[in-house]
Amino acid sequence: MGGKEIDADVAVIGGGIIGLSIAFELSWRGARVRVFDRDEPARAASWAAAGMLAPHTEMIEDASFRALCADSLAMYPEFVSRLFAAGGIDPHLRLDGILSTAFSEIEMEDCAARWETLRRRSVKAQILDRDDVLRLEPSLASTVRGGLLVESEGQIDNRLLGRALLAACAARGVTIHASARDIALECDERRVLGVRSDQGFYPSGSVVNACGAWASQLAGVPIDSVVEVEPVKGQMLALQIPRGLIQRVVWAPGAYLVPRDDGRLLIGATVEDIGFDTRVTARGVQSLLDAALRAAPALRDCALTEMWSGVRPSTPSGLPQIGATSIAGYFVAVGHYRNGILLAPITARRMADAL
Ligand SMILES: Cc1cc2nc3c(=O)[nH]c(=O)nc-3n(C[C@H](O)[C@H](O)[C@H](O)COP(=O)(O)OP(=O)(O)OC[C@H]3O[C@@H](n4cnc5c(N)ncnc54)[C@H](O)[C@@H]3O)c2cc1C
């Protein structure tokens, strides 16, 4: 393809949850969209994540960022039902609460302080004593002192969400260029022209950089418009557990536990500032298993079925960048760090509004 005519209204570079959500939203609104990924879409961080939807349990300091996260959580049911209507895949959204647990007096005081803060913010949450916690999660260690349940939060199976987005995008006519090589933004001194790769040149009215932790490396971006994004590694593992052994997302000191409908229990995650190293290490696995078994010794004999890692896209401010740049037609949707799954619906809406 080499013509000068605009071939797509929008080209999205990067086919993670963020790029695919934007592509889906735009196609839903009637735009012609192409997605370019140098690899397999819906892998990378979006596949590696735990899929927790936890704007309140995360205790985000920045008020406007906190509101963005809470608004995105509120959008999730409608977002998922549109995905299902378009592509027929259900990503298993579960809003059955997130339980933070305390095993010492200091951790209990922390839960109480967080509960006070959430109450002031009108977030529905319950402070729980030991018996309450064990009634909700009987497999936790009997040494648990109490906990905090945030009722409106939960999880989505992010790997299924990736598949649901791909199916919905395909059904809405989005063209996906997977495993494309040498992808580069093309622009003149005033505005974006399109996307070039080994598959040819595709003229496009607008281009969105949704390259996750690699966003600052996108070729063809003028130096003063390069976004600052760094990778932050996270390791995770999965156990196969008897159904119902852990029933909802549990935060314990040093690890969180995320039970999936397919019988896996995800245990995550390390936070490591060591670049693009994605090895699973003995120390990473040990720290996660130690914390998980302290909180729930009943997991001891469960089969360890999977170990993996991914890199979260982090900006210097810790906040995502979603919107226009100084180059006309060039947009960014990057830096979602620990909350990219949570923020997918609102990022898609904001980008579609901006475009
Ligand atoms: C261990 C772990 C646990 C997490 N848990 C949660 C959680 O519980 N809840 C939550 O909300 N978030 C969580 N996150 C964060 C979340 O996974 C990320 O914020 C989110 O996936 C970022 O999505 P993305 O689409 O921006 O990036 P990615 O999913 O990394 O996708 C980027 C895509 O861009 C492509 N790409 C890169 N460079 C180029 C290029 N030059 N040209 C073309 N394509 C390119 C890549 O191949 C990739 O497909 C977690 C992350 C990790 C690592």
* Inter-residue contact 117 to 56 (CB < 8 Å): no
Instruction: Look up residue 191 and give its two tokens.
Output: 């505005």
Note if the bond before 269 is cis, omega within 30 degrees: yes
- Among protein residues, the one whose CA lies closest to atom 19 of ligand 1: 340
Instruction: Look up residue 3 and give its two tokens.
Output: 């013509």
Domain-wise residue ranges, the chain:
8-91+158-229+316-354, 98-154+231-314
Measured in Å, residue 46 CA sits from the centre of ligand 1 at: 4
pLDDT, residue 165, reads: 98
**Residue of 183, 202, 214 best suited for mutating to test ligand 1, as the one with most atoms within 8 Å of CB:** 214
37 close to ligand 1 (CB < 6 Angstrom): yes
pLDDT, residue 8, reads: 80
pLDDT, residue 142, reads: 97
Rounded to whole angstroms, the Cα distance separating 252 from 271 reads 15
**Residue of 321, 336, 343 best suited for mutating to test ligand 1, as the one with most atoms within 8 Å of CB:** 336
Q: Is it true that 8-91+158-229+316-354 and 98-154+231-314 share their CATH fold?
A: no
Write the single-letter amino acid at 267.
Answer: I
* Inter-residue contact 268 to 256 (CB < 8 Å): yes
Q: Which CATH architecture has domain 8-91+158-229+316-354?
A: 3-Layer(bba) Sandwich (3.50)
CATH of domain 98-154+231-314: 3.30.9.10
Between vectors from CA 295 to CA 119 and to CA 123, what angle results, nearest 5°? 15
- Return per-residue pLDDT of the chain as tens, 355 residues: 444 577 889 999 999 999 999 999 999 999 999 999 999 999 999 999 999 999 999 989 999 999 999 999 999 999 999 999 999 999 999 999 999 999 999 999 999 999 999 999 999 999 999 999 999 999 999 999 999 999 999 999 999 999 999 999 999 999 999 999 999 999 988 899 999 999 999 999 999 999 999 999 999 999 999 999 999 999 999 999 999 999 999 999 999 999 999 999 999 999 999 999 999 999 999 999 999 999 999 999 999 999 999 999 999 999 999 999 999 999 999 999 999 999 999 999 999 999 9
- Among protein residues, the one whose CA lies closest to atom 2 of ligand 1: 49
